[in-house]
Chains A and B, each alone.
Chain A
Amino acid sequence: MTDVHESRESLWRLIVSPTIWAVHFLLCYITAAIWCAKYASRFGTLGPVRWLIAGYTVAALIGIALNGFGALRRHRFEAKSVPHDEDTPEDRFRFLGFATVLLAGLSAIAVIFAAVVVVFFRDCR
């Protein structure tokens, strides 16, 4: 049985996926920046950076998927559909679930966009 009481709710859950995107993005950027500034020459190879970014990406996508699928269940709570605009804790519960799903989707796209760069770059040029 699902508890929709306010005390079990948290707005932080809404931003889990975008936060994962942010962490993923910063990790990719910092890893590449440090590698190219400290360890590789001007046109040196990216070496392990590409594998690290691939690893970050898999981890991030798993995290986003967990957050997203959990939220999807909330969105579909008792098989009601949008617009989730009733003055009930259940509709608030569904609404936050749905918004979380959407943010998870956007975050996943943004993570994939970021990950695509390793396909094109093999060195620090």
Chain B
Amino acid sequence: MKPTPRDPDPLEHEPPLEVRRAQEERLRAVWAAPRGWRYWSEVNNTAVGIWYTATAFLFFLFGGVLALLMRIQLAVPDNQFLSAEMYNQVFTVHGSVMMFLFAIPIFESIAVIFLPQMLGARDLPFPRLSAFGYWCFLLGGVFLSGSILFDAAPRGGWFMYPPLTSSYQPGIGADMWLLGFSFIEIAAIAAAVELIVGTLKCRPPGMRINLIPLYCWYVLVAAAMVLFAFPPLIAGSMLLEVERAFHWPFFDPRGGGDPLLWQHLFWLFGHPEVYIIFLPSVALIAMIVPTFAQRPIVGYSWIVLAAVGTGFLSFGLWVHHMFTTGLPGISLALFSAASEAVAIPTGVQIFCFIATIAAGRMVRSVPMLFTFGGLATFVLGGLTGVMVALASFDFQAHDTFFVVAHLHYVLIGGAVFPIIGGCYYFFPLLNGKKLSDTLGRWAFWFLFVGFNVTFLPMHFTGLRGMPRRVFTYPEGLGFDTLNLVSSIGAFVLGIGVAIVAWDIIRPKKKQPLSARNPWNAGTLEWLPAMPPENWGVRSIPEIDSRYPLWDQPNFVRDVDQGRFYLPDAEEGWRETIVTTAIDAKPVQCLRLPGPSFIPFWAAITLGGFFILGTFHWWVPALISGVVGIGVIWYWLWVGTAPIPEKVNKDVGLGVTLPLYQSGVPSVGWWAMLITMLAVFTAFVSLVFAYFFYWTIHEDFPPANSPGPGVLWPGLAAGLLLGAWAATLLARRYNRADNAPAFYITMVAGCGLALAGGAAILAGPWLTGLEPSTHVYPAIVWLLAIWTALHAGTGVIMQLYCLARRARGRMTAQHDIDIHNVALFWHFVAATAVITVGVIAGFPLVK
């Protein structure tokens, strides 16, 4: 065995007091939040994370009020409390709000707050991206939820099945759903990119992949799932919106479309979504349990197995939402099998928690109470999940209140209880005050009893024949009493939520500060003194253990006295350390951008594109979109990859790190790669749509349709591959500092890309494919437009590189811009080749 170099130790001696004071002053100044109205330009993860969480919680309360309205309506048979129209809006908005405006955002917002703290990082790698995500979320969320006050809300169910939502619901409700949530999903993907890069690249030195807190494993998996789960829905929403706006018949059987395609795309998102909600919540349990068992988790590797395994298997379940659509039995059976298999990793993690409790000495506390309540509830939901996963049973249970009961057991047990428990656990880290134990207990019992009284009877309501999504029911079918009991329970549950809300907002001025690390936890997020400072960690520690606060001697003292890395902000920059993905060796001192309103304006202008589009005001929408692109250009221009005043920086303990990185070691490259994986997944969904149409039609492409021909698409592929090659060459010339060659190849690249984009559109245009007549021309057009848009975006990026080099913001050494653009062009090239292969090549093969 080779001897490995020993990790650096913290400074042996305490730095002199005045040095420490001066360091603290500088850190405090750099990390201070702006004051007054400029506070809203803050981008630091703690501030943004708290806004994000608070907003998501408000949406939760809003969704809860909608649920109570539904329960009032269903309390007695033939009730007139809500009209049918209103009830349908209420249940649509309830489901949509809880899924898109509460469950997903709260996972991301909690991670935005705590991920950097658990990783001993000062912030996430792209603080402005988090702020942008937040503003998008707020804007889109308010727009969507507000619509119900104007009786204009979507009313097609949160699943939005066409043709109901395509041809039978005029009005802007459905457009609002499709465009508004696509906008919010883009923000969610942005946050996912940030969380993945944060977990892989912004760990403290020494925190090898076998030492990272379990929470981070879960977040890594969940964020990766977002990348592959959301794009199919975005692609589907795009198809449905295009059908609504321009009558391209993607889901309309009269034009060769098929409503089932939407169900495939929707549930390809919808089922992983459940686990995207569940995993980060159970991750909170994975942090709470070791703390209150006062010992390390038992079965760390098993939990990693569970998280990663669930992440994969959850993509093989989507058809179990379509068991009654008449698909061949063998298809149903395959999905039944995967749906049973996914219960195995879920069981594993629950037993890891039980084993940890068994092997430790449990301390009683409110977070543990919620943990137990959550597990008890979730296990029951999991068991009914195993039941509905069997297609034969689901033939009866599907679309009944049995499923309503099941999904609430899973989501409230698997997400809401752990999140409230996490709230009681982590609250001191927000402002130094604990929540009330007494109120916490009261809240728990109201929630737990109320929940079970509401949802346990629903299993029987459903099996006794009550379908979901009905605004009323007749008397005497055997579910009158059950419904009344559920409605009463819902209000008990509501009281529990109200107690939690009160405990959070009640004034705590007079309450003494919490002790530091009040629960005696072992992980890094518990380092801060009370109340916490904005800088996150005083110095970034060297990690030797999964539970450094328990295992590393004098750890808190050494961090506090700045004996570790980056104890200072000499140059007045917000900084954190970038490390390698596996062994967390430091590779860069990353300078982070400070407060700015740019993310806010970017969200407003891009949001304008979607919101104005909802009203079919195409011109203002387009203007808003173009301005949005301008804002983003400006954002990148002034805010990213500044050339540092020196090459390297001494970060302490004898470690000197570069201030600039490009290519694979940089965080920007990873962010681009991950984003493009998501974009590419959306593209694959469109290609899937093409072949889906092939399977359902005897004759596809239809014999009488000319198709886009071979000439123009072939030419387009050639031109775009040329543009790709030119971009790669330009990168090489830039590195070689051969400016003339760089400019020539890059300009040539632009030209080729523009010509390629035009050529791919010329195919369907010149052969006269009319997209509103049949689904074949429609899907060909859509693939061509998708590719052309990629080429167009590629041109903007090429122009950006030209401008950066011309203005000296990109040089031979400082070339992250062109590295990332080249990476983007790899994906454009792949997209072009596949598109051409499909639209021009497949008709030949066939």
Contacts and interface: CB of A to CB of B under 8 A. Distances in A.
Interface of A: 4-6, 9, 11, 14-15, 18-19, 21-22, 25, 28-29, 32-34, 36-38, 46, 49, 78, 82-85, 87-92, 94-96, 98-99, 102-103, 106-107, 109-110, 113-114, 116-118, 120-121, 124-125
B179 interface: no
A122 B648 CA distance: 68
Nearest to B207: A87
B322 to A, nearest CB: 12
Nearest to A93: B210
A71 B341 CA distance: 22
A37 B695 contact: yes
Given A89-B583, A113-B338, A14 B1 contact: no
B393 interface: no
Residue from B305, B330, B334, B340 having most chain A Cβ neighbours under 10 A: B330
A114 B337 contact: yes
Interface string B768-794: 000000000000000000000000000
Contacts of A87: 7, 206, 208, 211, 543-545
A117 B330 contact: yes
B627 interface: no
A106 B609 CA distance: 45
B423 interface: no
B331 A33 contact: yes
Contacts of A22: 312, 315-316
B309 A92 contact: no
A103 B308 contact: yes
A11 B331 contact: no
Contacts of B583: 6, 9, 89, 92
A84 B211 CA distance: 9
Nearest to B311: A18
Nearest 7 pairs of A and B residues by beta carbon: A95-B210, A102-B305, A18-B312, A117-B333, A113-B337, A110-B341, A87-B544
Given A22-B312, A32-B328, A85-B546, A38 B581 contact: no
A9 B7 contact: no
A99 B4 contact: no
B128 to A, nearest CB: 28
Contact of A117 (B1, B302, B334): B334
Nearest to A9: B582
Given A99-B305, A102-B301, A102-B302, A121 B329 contact: yes
Interface string B306-346: 00110011011001000000011111011111101100110
B696 interface: yes
19 contacts: A15-B308, A18-B312, A18-B313, A19-B312, A25-B334, A29-B335, A33-B695, A36-B328, A82-B301, A91-B210, A92-B209, A92-B583, A99-B304, A99-B305, A103-B309, A106-B305, A107-B309, A109-B344, A117-B334
Given A102-B309, A117-B337, 11 more contacts: A6-B583, A9-B582, A18-B308, A83-B300, A87-B208, A87-B211, A89-B4, A90-B1, A103-B308, A110-B338, A117-B336
A84 to B, nearest CB: 6
A46 to B, nearest CB: 7
B338 A25 contact: yes
B545 A124 contact: no
Interface in B261-290: none
B542 to A, nearest CB: 9
Contact of A32 (B331, B580, B585): B331
Contact of B328 (A15, A106, A125): A125
A6 to B, nearest CB: 4
Contacts of B209: 11, 92, 95-96
Nearest to A95: B210
A83 B304 CA distance: 12
Contacts of A94: 210
B590 to A, nearest CB: 20
Given A90-B1, A109-B341, A120-B333, A95 B301 contact: yes
B316 A25 contact: yes
B296 interface: yes
Contact of A14 (B308, B335, B545): B308
Nearest to A89: B4
B153 to A, nearest CB: 36
Contacts of A19: 312
A12 to B, nearest CB: 11
Contacts of A102: 301-302, 304-305, 309
A98 B313 contact: no
A110 B304 CA distance: 17
Given A114-B337, A117-B337, A88 B312 contact: no
Contact of A83 (B296, B308, B341): B296
Interface in B147-168: none
A110 B302 contact: no
Nearest to B695: A37
Contacts of A90: 1
A83 B209 CA distance: 13
Contacts of A9: 582-583
Nearest to A36: B328
A110 B463 CA distance: 30
A92 B764 CA distance: 54
A11 B581 contact: yes
